[in-house]
C-alpha cells in the first residue's frame, strides 16, 4: 500500500546521511549546520522530494487552502470575484476550494462544515442566507456584503451608499431633472440595500422628490417594472422621470430593453445607470452593458484574502467598505 516510489523524508535523511529531524529543520527553515543543510538540499534535489501535505496537515492542522462559497460561478460578478480571490490566494501561497451553493442554505452550511473538517485555513462567503449561527468555531470567516447575525464575522463590501449617491448625482449631471430608482433586493440584509439610501440621500440633497420601485427579488421583475413605468406615464407618452438608477447592471439592462421596446430612446429620452460593472464577455476591455457604478472586484477580493489570512483576527474591523466608481456604458449622455 506504500505510495509507489514517492520519496519520503526518511529517504532524504538516509540519502543525505543525516537524521530525520535535521531534514525537517532544513525544510522548515530552522537553522542547521551549513554543511548539513547542503547535504540535505542536495538529497532533496536528487530524490526530487516534496513534503507530503497530508502528513504535514495532520501535524499542523492547516492546509494552505481557503474555501470560497458563492451562489454560482455563472453570474459574471460572482465569477470575477472568484477569479480575483484565486489570484490573491495564489500570491499568498494558498489554494482556493470553490463551492457553489446555489443560494441553498443547507449547502452553504454543509460547505462551511466541510471547510472546517478539511482544515481550510478560512472561508470567504458570499451567501444568500444568514449563516451566522452555523459557523464552526475557530474557522476564520469573512463575509462579502452579507450581514451575519453573530458578532465575529468581519464584512467586506463596496461603498454602496456612496455609489447610490454617485449614480443619482451623475444622472443629474448628465441633464436629468428627475431621476427615479428601481431595485429588486435580495431579501437578506446586506450592504447592497444601501444603494437605495444613497439615492434617497442624493434626492434630499438636491431637493428632488424620490420616485422609486423597491421590491424584493422574488417578484416578477419585468411586470413590476412595466407597472412602475405605466404608473408614471402620461397620455402623451412622456414619463415623470427622465433617468433611472437601477440597483444592478442586470436589472438595468432589463429595464433598458423594456423601455426600448416601449419606444423610448436611451439615453436620449431616458438615461440609465446600473450597479456592479459587468462587462460583456467578462473582460474590462469590452463594453459595459449599461453606464454603471463599478464595484472594485480585484480590491474587494484582495481585501477578503488579506483578512481571512490575517494573524490577529481580533484586530479586524467588523465592516470594511471599498470605494466604487462611475463608468460610462452607453446609457447616459456624456
Partner DNA sequence: CTGTTAGCGCTTTCAC
Partner DNA sequence: GTGAAAGCGCTAACAG
CB under 5 to 8 A by kind: which of DNA, a second copy, none does 72 bind?
A: a second copy
In the DSSP assignment, the letter for residue 74 is: S
CB under 5 to 8 A by kind: which of a second copy, DNA, none does 9 bind?
A: DNA
DSSP helix, strand, coil percent of the chain (3-state; round to 5): 40, 20, 40
CB under 5 to 8 A by kind: which of a second copy, DNA, none does 133 bind?
A: none
Q: Is the CB of 161 or the CB of 184 nearer to a second copy?
A: 184
CB under 5 to 8 A by kind: which of DNA, a second copy, none does 32 bind?
A: DNA
> Cβ(267)–Cβ(242) under 8 Å?
no
| Spacing of C-alpha 234 from chain mean position | 41
The residues in 207-236 that bind a second copy, with binding defined as CB under 8 A, are none
Alpha-carbon torsion (253, 321, 64, 114), positive or negative: negative
Residue 72 in contact with a second copy, rule: CB under 8 A: yes
Q: Which of 52, 149, 197, 216 is the binder for a second copy (CB under 8 A)?
A: 52
Binding mask 262-301 for a second copy (x = CB under 8 A): ----------------x-xxxx-----x------------
Burial bucket for residue 145 (CB in 10 Å: 0-12, 13-18, 19+): buried
Residue 73 in contact with a second copy, rule: CB under 8 A: yes
Grid cell for residue 48: 526530487
The residues in 230-269 that bind a second copy, with binding defined as CB under 8 A, are 249-250, 253
> Cβ(259)–Cβ(222) under 8 Å?
no
Tell me the three state secondary structure of residue 42: helix
> Cβ(257)–Cβ(225) under 8 Å?
no
CB under 5 to 8 A by kind: which of DNA, a second copy, none does 73 bind?
A: a second copy
Cα(175)–Cα(137) distance, integer angstroms: 53
Residues linked to residue 327 through DSSP beta bridges, in sequence order:
292
Q: Which of 118, 150, 216, 238 is the binder for a second copy (CB under 8 A)?
A: 118
**6 to 26, 55, 207: CA distances (angstroms):** 19, 14, 73
Residue 80 in contact with a second copy, rule: CB under 8 A: yes
Q: Is the CB of 19 or the CB of 319 nearer to DNA?
A: 19
CB under 5 to 8 A by kind: which of a second copy, DNA, none does 96 bind?
A: a second copy
Burial bucket for residue 105 (CB in 10 Å: 0-12, 13-18, 19+): middle
CB under 5 to 8 A by kind: which of a second copy, DNA, none does 20 bind?
A: DNA
Binding mask 299-318 for a second copy (x = CB under 8 A): --------------------
Q: What residues make contact with a second copy under the rule CB under 8 A?
A: 3-4, 50-55, 57-58, 61, 63, 65, 72-76, 79-80, 82-83, 86-87, 90, 95-100, 113-114, 117-119, 137-138, 249-250, 253, 278, 280-283, 289
Amino acid at each position: 500500500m506504500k505510495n509507489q516510489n514517492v520519496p519520503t523524508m526518511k529517504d532524504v535523511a538516509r540519502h543525505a546521511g543525516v537524521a530525520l529531524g535535521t531534514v525537517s529543520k532544513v525544510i522548515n527553515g530552522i537553522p542547521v549546520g551549513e554543511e548539513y543543510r547542503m547535504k540535505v538540499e542536495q538529497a532533496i534535489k536528487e530524490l526530487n522530494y516534496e513534503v507530503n501535505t497530508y502528513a504535514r496537515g495532520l501535524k499542523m492542522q492547516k492546509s494552505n487552502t481557503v474555501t470560497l462559497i458563492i451562489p454560482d460561478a455563472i453570474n459574471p460578478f460572482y465569477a470575477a470575484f472568484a477569479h480575483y480571490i484565486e489570484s490573491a490566494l495564489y500570491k499568498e501561497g494558498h489554494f482556493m476550494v470553490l463551492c457553489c451553493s446555489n443560494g441553498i442554505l443547507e449547502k452553504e452550511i454543509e460547505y462551511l462544515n466541510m471547510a472546517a473538517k478539511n482544515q481550510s485555513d478560512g472561508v470567504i462567503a458570499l451567501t444568500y442566507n444568514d449563516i451566522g449561527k452555523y459557523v464552526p468555531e475557530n474557522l476564520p470567516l469573512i463575509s462579502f456584503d452579507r450581514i451575519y447575525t453573530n458578532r465575529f464575522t468581519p464584512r467586506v463590501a463596496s461603498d454602496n451608499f456612496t455609489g447610490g449617491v454617485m449614480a443619482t448625482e451623475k444622472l443629474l449631471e448628465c441633464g436629468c431633472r428627475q431621476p427615479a430608482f428601481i431595485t429588486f433586493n435580495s431579501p437578506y440584509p446586506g450592504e447592497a440595500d444601501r444603494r437605495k439610501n444613497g439615492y434617497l440621500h442624493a434626492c434630499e440633497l438636491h431637493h428632488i422628490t424620490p420616485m422609486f420601485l423597491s421590491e424584493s427579488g422574488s417578484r416578477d421583475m419585468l411586470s413590476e417594472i412595466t407597472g412602475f413605468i405605466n404608473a408614471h406615464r402620461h397620455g402623451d407618452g412622456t414619463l415623470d422621470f427622465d433617468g433611472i438608477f437601477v440597483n444592478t447592471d442586470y436589472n438595468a439592462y432589463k429595464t433598458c430593453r423594456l423601455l426600448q421596446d416601449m419606444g423610448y430612446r436611451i439615453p436620449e429620452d431616458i438615461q440609465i445607470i446600473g450597479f456592479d460593472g459587468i462587462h460583456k464577455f467578462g473582460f474590462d476591455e469590452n463594453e459595459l452593458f449599461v453606464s454603471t457604478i463599478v464595484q472594485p472586484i480585484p480590491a474587494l477580493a484582495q481585501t477578503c484574502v488579506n483578512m481571512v489570512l490575517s494573524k490577529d483576527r481580533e484586530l479586524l474591523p467588523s465592516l470594511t467598505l471599498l470605494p466604487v466608481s462611475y463608468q460610462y456604458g452607453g446609457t447616459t449622455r456624456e
